[in-house]
């Protein structure tokens, strides 16, 4: 019934896991075999993913599940399973392709690191967890892989443990996402309580299918919102976005893999996966839970885009752009454009990985410098990186026609424009599009144009092993647009299960011009503002940002990430401190006194019982002991230490039993 | 005349008692082991006899148990004899009368 | 099943057993033990359990007896005679024999003759071993390995 790949879907995440274990078991010095193992595991996973992807092409709306019983307690069975549908298959292919590029890139980028093998073990582990997450057919299994992904990200962000900032960032990421996961877990429990199953699809009995949804009723809103808490944490949505920019402390390939292309996508993926919970009881596509998703997404998208304008660290800019794009995807999901959101997620995976790897290449070329104000003019030193980075920048900015980000962004705008409750998100997103183009232009100008500054003077192009993945990803980002255009929206049809046909006329529509105008405006304004930024004299860092010159207060507000970290430090964290202090005081003086009081009563009682004990009981016990000792002395004579005596005793005992039996019978 | 089950059981009982005699009366540790082996063989004889006189067309449980008990007895003999050697090395005797360190 | 054969084999076996239990020289006793096992194997043949009989011959006559002989050779100080004989043990043994015989003879359900039974082939035994008894078989294998290693460790020379 099910094809081979469906019944063996678990092999896809198993490969990287196995590779990870194998790498951990080889010696620290065998760097080549570690890299080979990791890449091989990823290639096999990619091959299997492609097989899975091909098998979903057979029919429209293909969905196959493979469920199994994990364990049984009483009459309840807990079942887990794997599902293969277009959503999972597309994610599998995206993760493995992007992952493979990043793995190969890492071989070059991490070549000097002393913990090279450990790095690949973690990376493979992460890849396996992420692959497991997308094919899980049970919310519990999703949660398990979700936490494994979280663990992997913790390990990788804090990979350079000798740096205090890396350790702190790892902790921050772990704890912040944990706050969201708490909600997620409550959602899982609630869902199990109501629906009695955590399987998504189970031949009509799953919690995302008719009967299961009917049992949920009104609680679906709360379950959906609790699950969304997890997504907020993992996908870096406001107000839990604070960990994502700090996570840039990890090695750059990690930032590319985890904090751009795949892991943060898990939140968006999760919302898309349990979308029926969100849309249950929708009136013209609007539910209260989806409304929350939209507003959170809009807030995040706009806020992160604003902050990105004022950042100086090349990776932080990209990190905030990731946060912003994820917000955009959330908006898309919230307004009902599930396919658009997922398409943007897939496209984003490609071009954001490309941008991060490009940034990694730049950092590598500039000997570890991450401050864009100290770079400049790199397009002459690093032509391949520049070209590929430009492709990524165009895709991210949403330049139409040839870059995949453009089509998907347009699709999102299209979906948002027709959201019944309000048009505000639509206009805010338009602003976000302009801002995105603006900060990407700023970054490109600072890094690649103008005169070389401090860090760029001895820059060099990265080795082939690092540029090859960049080229592959750049081609991917361009070629992907072939299946995204409105003229032939193949991917859209693939994800929604609707048939698609070719129609050039749909290519030209108002939204295209809106999008084109906005992006051009963003890029143009960017070039105009920063036209002088790159042309300062060589050698000195560009100290004053043009925006800072014009609006110092606003710039400082943005550069300090809107003081959200400080706000948390003042409110949440200091509240925790206060609570801890109060508990400490209560413990020291109030509870302690109480305990001491009880202790004194106990002591008094003890004095009383001691006297009873010594006078009354001890004497009796002494007598008994003496008696027992005497008896023992008598009995011990039977224990001669002679095994034959023992054996004889056994024989006599057997005889006695025999006689007893005969007498009774 | 065909022999009954009782005859086999009596032979087995006699063998068992002889083994017991060896195990109880002799002083040398190897004799005790010989006696124990004989008692085990007697038990095996019982298993086989009960199987043979039991209902036919059953899985041959008695034979199986006899096989397993032979294997276990072989293991026991190996370990027992090894212990005899170890004890001999340590105390320079195999006379069990002198091995009474566990006396109460 | 032949009564005459049974009686001859039984007398032969029991005589050898008695010799093994009472002979003064250890080596003679060990050789008598071999005879006892050959006799028991013959009884097994008589009962139709040829495979078990052969296994007994292989394991006891082939392996255990050799082990006993080796042990005798490896404990040279006591080679030769076994001093003393415990008559108390003899009394217990005779009493056990009496009790057992008495209870066997008094149990009427044991006075049965053997039913007709198809020969037990090695193939059948193998099948049973590999199906119903495969788990005990593996356990016995493990036990034998453990016993072998244990015996080796026990007799290993202590390094000082």
Domain-wise residue ranges, chain B: 5-95
Residue range C13-29: average pLDDT? 88
pLDDT under 50 in chain A at which residues? 1, 538-539
The whole-number pLDDT of residue B69 equals 92
Name every residue whose Cβ is closer than 8 Å to that of residue A164 and which is 6 or more positions away in sequence.
none
Q: Could you tell me if C130 lies within 8 Å of chain B, comparing CB atoms?
A: no
Mutation target among A647, A658, A663, A664 for the C interface, most CBs of C within 10 A: A658
**C-alpha radius of gyration, chain C, whole number:** 20
Quick one: three-class SS letters along A384-445? HHHHHHHHHHHHHHCCCCCCHHHHHHHHHHHHHHCCCCCCHHHHHHHHHHHHHHHHHHHHHH
Cα–Cα distance between A316 and B6 in angstroms, integer? Answer: 94
Q: Could you tell me if A647 lies within 8 Å of chain B, comparing CB atoms?
A: yes
Percent of chain C scored above 90 by pLDDT?
26
Quick one: three-class SS letters along A146-172? HHHHHHHHHHHHCCCCCCHHHHHHHHH
Cα–Cα distance between B93 and A628 in angstroms, integer? Answer: 36
Contact C89 A644 (CB under 8 A): yes
Containing H/E element for A68? strand A64-73
Of A641, A648, A651, the CB nearest to B103: A641
The whole-number pLDDT of residue C80 equals 47
Residue B4, φ and ψ in degrees, nearest 5: -95, 175
What fold does the segment set B5-95 form as a domain?
Answer: Helix Hairpins (1.10.287)
- β-strands A76-84, A64-73 pairing: antiparallel
At C114-125, the pLDDT tens digits run 888 788 888 888
Cβ-count burial of A258 within 10 angstroms (0-12 exposed, 13-18 middle, 19+ buried)? Answer: buried
Contact B74 C144 (CB under 8 A): yes
For tokens 């599930």, the residue is A338
- Lowest-pLDDT range, A55-59, A328-332, B63-67, C45-49? A55-59
In three-state secondary structure terms, A283 is strand
Q: Which of C53, C54, C57 shows the shortest CA–CA distance to C44?
A: C53
Contact C99 A651 (CB under 8 A): no
Contact at 8 Å (CB) between A23 and A63? no
Contacts of A657 in chain C (CB under 8 A): none
Of A638, A640, A651, the CB nearest to B100: A640
Size of interface B-C (CB pairs under 8 A): 257
Containing H/E element for A537? none
Contact B104 A637 (CB under 8 A): yes
Give the pLDDT band (50/70/90) at residue C24.
confident
Size of interface A-C (CB pairs under 8 A): 23
Cα–Cα distance between A232 and A292 in angstroms, integer? Answer: 11
Of B1, B24, B49, the CB nearest to C92: B24
Contact B84 C128 (CB under 8 A): no
Contacts of B69 in chain C (CB under 8 A): none
Mutation target among C7, C11, C47, C58 for the B interface, most CBs of B within 10 A: C47
DSSP state, residue B30: H
The whole-number pLDDT of residue A539 equals 47
Question: ω into residue A239 within 30 of 0, thus cis?
Answer: yes
Percent of chain B scored above 70 by pLDDT?
96
Contacts of B99 in chain A (CB under 8 A): 641, 643
What tokens does A102 get? Answer: 């990043």
At C92-133, the pLDDT tens digits run 899 999 988 988 888 888 888 888 878 888 888 888 889 889
At B6-52, the pLDDT tens digits run 899 999 999 999 999 998 888 888 888 899 999 999 999 999 999 98
* Domain C1-76 belongs in CATH node 3.30.1330.60: no
Contact at 8 Å (CB) between A117 and A23? yes
Chain B residue nearest residue C61, CA to CA: B74
Q: Which of A292, A390, A269 shows the shortest CA–CA distance to A338?
A: A269
The whole-number pLDDT of residue A497 equals 66
Of A637, A639, A642, the CB nearest to B97: A642
Contacts of C29 in chain B (CB under 8 A): 31, 34
Q: Which of C60, C52, C51 shows the shortest CA–CA distance to C32?
A: C60
The whole-number pLDDT of residue A437 equals 83
The ipTM of this complex is: 0.88
């Amino acid at each position: 019934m099910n094809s081979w790949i469906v019944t063996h879907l678990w092999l896809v995440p198993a490969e990287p896991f196995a590779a990870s274990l194998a790498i951990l078991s080889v010696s620290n010095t065998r760097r080549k075999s570690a890299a080979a193992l990791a890449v091989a595991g990823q290639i096999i996973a990619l091959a299997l993913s492609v097989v899975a992807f091909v098998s979903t092409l057979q029919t429209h709306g293909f969905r196959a599940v493979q469920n199994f019983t994990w364990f049984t307690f009483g009459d309840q069975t807990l079942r887990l399973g794997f599902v293969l549908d277009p959503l999972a298959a597309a994610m599998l292919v995206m993760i493995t392709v992007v992952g493979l590029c990043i793995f190969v890139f890492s071989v070059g980028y991490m070549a000097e690191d002393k913990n090279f093998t450990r790095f690949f073990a973690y990376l493979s582990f992460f890849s396996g967890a992420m692959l497991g997450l997308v094919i899980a057919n049970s919310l519990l299994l999703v949660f398990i892989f979700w936490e494994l992904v979280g663990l992997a990200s913790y390990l990788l962000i804090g990979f350079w443990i000798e740096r205090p900032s890396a350790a702190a960032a790892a902790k921050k990421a772990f704890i912040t996402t944990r706050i969201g996961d708490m909600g997620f877990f409550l959602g899982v429990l609630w869902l199990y309580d109501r629906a009695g199953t955590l399987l998504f699809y189970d031949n009509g009995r799953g919690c995302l299918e008719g009967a299961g949804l009917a049992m949920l009723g009104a609680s679906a809103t709360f379950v959906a919102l609790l699950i969304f808490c997890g997504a907020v944490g993992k996908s870096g949505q406001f107000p839990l976005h604070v960990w994502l920019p700090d996570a840039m402390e990890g090695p750059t390939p990690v930032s590319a893999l985890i904090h751009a292309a795949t892991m943060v996508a898990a939140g968006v993926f999760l919302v898309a996966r349990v979308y029926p919970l969100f849309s249950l009881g929708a009136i013209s596509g609007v539910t209260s839970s989806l409304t929350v998703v939209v507003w959170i997404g809009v807030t995040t998208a706009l806020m992160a885009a604003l902050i990105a304008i004022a950042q100086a660290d090349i990776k932080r800019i990209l990190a905030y752009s990731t946060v912003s794009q994820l917000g955009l995807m959330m908006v898309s999901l919230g307004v009902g454009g599930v396919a658009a959101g997922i398409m943007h997620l897939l496209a984003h995976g490609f071009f954001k990985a490309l941008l991060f790897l490009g940034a990694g290449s730049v950092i590598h070329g500039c000997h570890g410098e991450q401050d864009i104000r100290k770079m400049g003019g790199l397009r002459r030193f690093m032509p391949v990186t520049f070209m590929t980075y430009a492709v990524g920048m165009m895709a991210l900015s949403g330049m139409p026609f040839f870059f995949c980000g453009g089509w998907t962004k347009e699709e999102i705008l299209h979906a948002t424009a027709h959201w019944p409750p309000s048009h505000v998100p639509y206009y805010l997103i338009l602003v976000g599009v302009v801002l995105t183009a603006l900060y990407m232009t700023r970054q490109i100008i600072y890094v690649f144009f103008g005169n070389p500054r401090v860090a760029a003077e001895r820059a060099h192009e990265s080795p082939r092993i690092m540029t090859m993945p960049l080229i592959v990803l750049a081609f991917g980002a361009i070629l992907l647009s072939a299946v995204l255009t409105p003229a032939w929206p193949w991917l859209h049809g693939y994800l929604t299960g609707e048939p698609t046909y070719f129609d050039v006329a749909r290519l030209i529509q108002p939204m295209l011009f809106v999008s084109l105008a906005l992006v051009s405006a963003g890029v143009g304004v960017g070039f105009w503002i920063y036209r002088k930024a790159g042309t300062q004299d060589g050698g000195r860092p560009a100290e004053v940002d043009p925006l800072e010159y014009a609006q110092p207060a606003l710039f400082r507000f943005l550069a300090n990430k809107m003081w959200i970290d400080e706000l948390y430090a003042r409110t949440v964290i200091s509240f925790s401190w206060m609570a801890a202090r109060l508990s400490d005081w209560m413990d020291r003086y109030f509870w302690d006194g109480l305990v001491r009081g009880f202790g004194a009563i106990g002591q008094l009682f003890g004095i009383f019982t001691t006297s009873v004990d010594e006078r009354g009981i001890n004497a009796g016990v002494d007598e008994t002991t003496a008696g027992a000792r005497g008896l023992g002395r008598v009995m011990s004579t039977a224990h001669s230490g002679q095994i034959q005596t023992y054996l004889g005793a056994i024989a006599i005992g057997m005889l006695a039993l025999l006689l007893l039996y005969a007498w009774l019978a | 005349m065909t022999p009954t089950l009782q005859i086999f059981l009596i032979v087995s009982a006699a063998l068992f008692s002889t083994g017991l005699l060896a195990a109880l009366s002799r002083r040398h540790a190897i004799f005790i082991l010989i006696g124990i082996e004989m008692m085990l063989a007697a038990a095996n004889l019982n298993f086989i006899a009960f199987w043979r006189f039991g209902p036919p067309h059953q899985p041959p449980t008695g034979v199986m148990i006899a096989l397993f008990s032979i294997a276990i007895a072989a293991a026991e003999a190996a370990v027992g004899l090894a212990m005899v050697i170890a004890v001999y090395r340590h105390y320079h005797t195999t006379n069990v009368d002198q091995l009474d360190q566990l006396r109460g | 099943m032949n009564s005459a054969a049974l009686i001859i084999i039984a007398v032969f076996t029991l005589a050898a057993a008695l010799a093994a239990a009472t002979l003064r020289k250890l080596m003679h006793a060990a050789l008598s033990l071999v005879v006892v096992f050959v006799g028991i194997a013959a009884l097994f043949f008589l009962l139709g359990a040829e495979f078990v009989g052969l296994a007994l011959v292989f394991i006891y006559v082939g392996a255990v007896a050799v082990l006993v002989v080796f042990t005798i050779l490896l404990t040279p100080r006591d080679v030769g005679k076994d001093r003393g004989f415990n008559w108390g043990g003899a009394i217990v043994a005779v009493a056990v024999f009496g009790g057992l015989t008495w209870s066997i003879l008094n149990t009427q359900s044991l006075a049965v003759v053997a039913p007709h039974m198809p020969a037990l082939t090695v193939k059948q035994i193998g099948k049973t071993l590999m199906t119903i008894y495969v788990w005990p078989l593996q356990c016995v294998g493990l036990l034998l390995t453990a016993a072998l290693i244990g015996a080796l460790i026990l007799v290993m020379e202590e390094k000082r």
